[in-house]
Amino acid sequence: MLYSLAEENYLKAIFKLSEKKPDKVFTNDIASLLDMKAASVTDMLQKLSEKKLIRYVKYRGVSLTPSGKKVALSIIRKHRLWELFLTSKLGFSWDEVHDVAEQLEHIRSEKLVKHLDQFLGKPKFDPHGDPIPDENGNFQLQKVFPLSDAKNTQTITIAGVIDHQPLFLRYLDQCGLSLGKKIKVQGKTGYDKSMNISILHSGQKIFISHDVAKNILVIP
Amino acid sequence: MLYSLAEENYLKAIFKLSEKKPDKVFTNDIASLLDMKAASVTDMLQKLSEKKLIRYVKYRGVSLTPSGKKVALSIIRKHRLWELFLTSKLGFSWDEVHDVAEQLEHIRSEKLVKHLDQFLGKPKFDPHGDPIPDENGNFQLQKVFPLSDAKNTQTITIAGVIDHQPLFLRYLDQCGLSLGKKIKVQGKTGYDKSMNISILHSGQKIFISHDVAKNILVIP
DNA sequence: ATATTTTTTTAGGTTTGCCTAAATTTTAAT
DNA sequence: ATTAAAATTTAGGCAAACCTAAAAAAATAT
């Protein structure tokens, strides 16, 4: 079963949307994520439905079938492996990898994926802290929570981000915040929920807004 | 200037054909190389001609313009870098890399190519001994000749292949013949031009047909 | 409960890149 | 120099994946 680039992108989009709202995914959500018109999405939904990759009821949204989910996960696996390759082997920074990985994820070669996985040491997480599905589509979920929910004086480790925009990631770089950094909450403002935190290794103290804290994922 | 996958493949095909016969390239040659119908080729030639990537005169064949050549060389550069990546980093053998590289060569990212090139140590030749063009499209031609032209008792080094078919490459592997191996011509048959050669390092003696010898490139 | 708004689908159109069949041009053979 | 053969182009079609505009269905507001 080989699927077109467009089909793969739709399946990936549906998967990502159903991660947030686990119920049904709607035409407009897909259209805005893929930056296309709703009418085009309807076209494709009908096609994917015929191929049994999604369950589709007119006007009622869609969900992935097991085979649709399998395709989506294999694309996501490839995307995240390539992102890690780009950062760990080629020296890309985490804000530069997305667009290239978006292309590389569609390269068709089981052997390539297997060997790339081995070359990278069968990694479990990508440069943004997102889990990399294994060849069967299984992945580890870390028990992360947003930094904004951390208690005062709590010590935690940065484990991921919610927002993946280059602008946000570069801002974190500037602040000295990156994956794996241990930080301690030094104070939270009641009014605007902004926080003072310190980076344990460097001792650096920084101030971050609630908006930023909400987009940083941490583990205890 | 971004070109479609199809356009890139046509330009590469025209480049490859004009390497053999440096004059004009004809519609049917392109069609058979790309496994398409002549009518389809004509369509595309007209499009490429409008974009000034080729010089095209109806019924008279085509040749690449400087900008067409530049595109072709950048695709070939990427193809060969990826082939080397696959063999040297991921453990592919030289008969397995072509199809994957055929996909990877279309990934668009100057940064990726630059970093891949560096990662591989700015290599000059791919796993088949073919030269890798640099960022400006320049490449070193080795002064190779077919093994079939080697004189009796001559000692030479394997530097490339003409035929790139997996079947041929796997046959060479079986014979213990690979890039960089030094060999000595031990005898040539007058009748069918087959040869006896020995591999210097291992001392192994093997017999190869003229057909095979013609497709192995060597340097003194 | 009906009217309005929003969402989704349908209908019909476009471009890209391929195809077949027929027409044309060039090349080769007598 | 014709004629036959081969190569190429033209004309018309098709599928994929998008689009706009209009119609239909569902959700929301009064």
pTM for the structure as a whole: 0.94
For residue B174, what are the contacts with CB-CB under 8 A and spacing of at least 6?
Answer: none
**Helix (DSSP H) and strand (DSSP E) numbers for chain A:** 8, 8
Distance from CA of A16 to the nearest CA of B (A): 24
Please state, as a whole number, how many other Cβ atoms lie within 10 Å of the Cβ of residue B30.
24
Alpha carbon distance B199, B206 (integer Å): 8
Residue A190 scores a pLDDT above 80: no
Amino acid at B219: I
> Which residue matches tokens 């760990």?
A88
Which nucleotide in the DNA or RNA is closest to residue B46, CA to C1'?
D9
Contact yes or no for A92 and B107 at CB 8 A: no
Radius of gyration over alpha carbons of chain B, in Å?
19
Alpha carbon distance A53, B188 (integer Å): 61
- Per-residue confidence (pLDDT) for residue B190, from 0 to 100: 72
- In chain B, what percentage of residues exceed pLDDT 90? 92
Contact yes or no for B116 and A91 at CB 8 A: no
Q: What is the chain A residue with the closest CA to B106?
A: A103
Backbone region of residue B10 per phi and psi (left: phi > 0; alpha: psi in -120 to 50; beta: other values): alpha
Residue B1 scores a pLDDT above 90: no
Q: Tell me whether residue B31 is exposed, middle or buried, using C-beta atoms within 10 angstroms of its C-beta: 0 to 12, 13 to 18, 19 or more.
A: middle
* Measured CA A80 to C1' C10 distance, in angstroms: 38
Q: Is B91 on the interface with A (CB under 8 A)?
A: yes
For residue B54, what are the contacts with CB-CB under 8 A and spacing of at least 6?
Answer: B11, B14, B45, B48, B62, B63, B64, B65, B68
Q: Is A95 on the interface with B (CB under 8 A)?
A: no
Choose among B90, B108, B119: nearest Cβ to A90.
B119
- Per-residue confidence (pLDDT) for residue B193, from 0 to 100: 78
pLDDT tens track for B117-141: 999 999 999 999 999 999 999 999 9
Contact yes or no for A109 and B103 at CB 8 A: yes
Question: φ, ψ for residue A10 (rounded to 5)?
Answer: -65, -45
Out of A71-75, A91-95, B186-190, least confident range:
B186-190
- Specify the DSSP class assigned to residue B161: E
Contact yes or no for A112 and B90 at CB 8 A: yes
Alpha carbon distance B161, B127 (integer Å): 10
Average pLDDT over residues B147-166: 95
* Protein residue minimizing CA–C1' distance to D8: B59
- Half-sphere exposure (Cβ direction) of A220: Cα atoms closer than 13 Å: 2
* Measured CA A43 to C1' C11 distance, in angstroms: 12
Question: φ, ψ for residue B117 (rounded to 5)?
Answer: -55, -45
**Alpha helical stretches, state H, chain A:** 5-20, 27-34, 38-50, 66-88, 98-104, 110-119, 166-175, 210-214
Which nucleotide in the DNA or RNA is closest to residue A39, CA to C1'?
C9
Give exposure, B186-210, as e/b (b: 16+ Cβ within 10 Å). eebeeeeebbebbbeeeeeebebeb
pLDDT tens track for A105-135: 999 999 999 999 999 999 999 999 999 999 9
- Tell me the chain A residues in contact with residue B86 when contact means C-beta distances shorter than 8 Å: 112, 115
Alpha carbon distance B200, B133 (integer Å): 31
- Per-residue confidence (pLDDT) for residue B19, from 0 to 100: 93
pLDDT tens track for A41-69: 999 999 999 999 999 999 999 999 999 99
Q: Is A111 on the interface with B (CB under 8 A)?
A: yes
For residue B212, what are the contacts with CB-CB under 8 A and spacing of at least 6?
Answer: B168, B171, B172
Q: What is the chain B residue with the closest CA to A111?
A: B92
Radius of gyration over alpha carbons of chain A, in Å?
19
Residue B32 scores a pLDDT above 80: yes
pLDDT tens track for B35-81: 999 999 999 999 999 999 999 999 999 999 999 999 999 999 999 99
Contact yes or no for A119 and B86 at CB 8 A: no
Residue B173 scores a pLDDT above 90: yes
For residue A24, what are the contacts with CB-CB under 8 A and spacing of at least 6?
Answer: A60, A61, A62, A63
Question: Which residues 25 to 84 of B reach strand D, CB within 7 A?
Answer: 26-29, 38-39, 41-43, 45-46, 56, 58-61
With beta carbons less than 8 A apart as the criterion, state whether B148 and B214 touch: yes
- Tell me the chain B residues in contact with residue A116 when contact means C-beta distances shorter than 8 Å: 90
> Which residue matches tokens 């053999």?
B20
pLDDT tier at A193 (50, 70, 90 boundaries)?
Answer: confident
Q: What is the chain B residue with the closest CA to A102?
A: B107
Alpha carbon distance B129, B110 (integer Å): 24
Beta strands A216-219; A145-146: pairing state: antiparallel
Average pLDDT over residues A198-217: 94
pLDDT tens track for A23-46: 899 999 999 999 999 999 999 999
Alpha carbon distance B129, B80 (integer Å): 10
- In chain A, what percentage of residues exceed pLDDT 70? 100
Average pLDDT over residues A175-197: 89
Q: Which two tokens stand for residue A92?
A: 């890309």
Please state, as a whole number, how many other Cβ atoms lie within 10 Å of the Cβ of residue B79.
22
Q: What is the chain A residue with the closest CA to B90?
A: A115
Q: Which two tokens stand for residue A177?
A: 């915040």
- Per-residue confidence (pLDDT) for residue B5, from 0 to 100: 98
- Tell me the chain A residues in contact with residue B111 when contact means C-beta distances shorter than 8 Å: 92, 96, 100
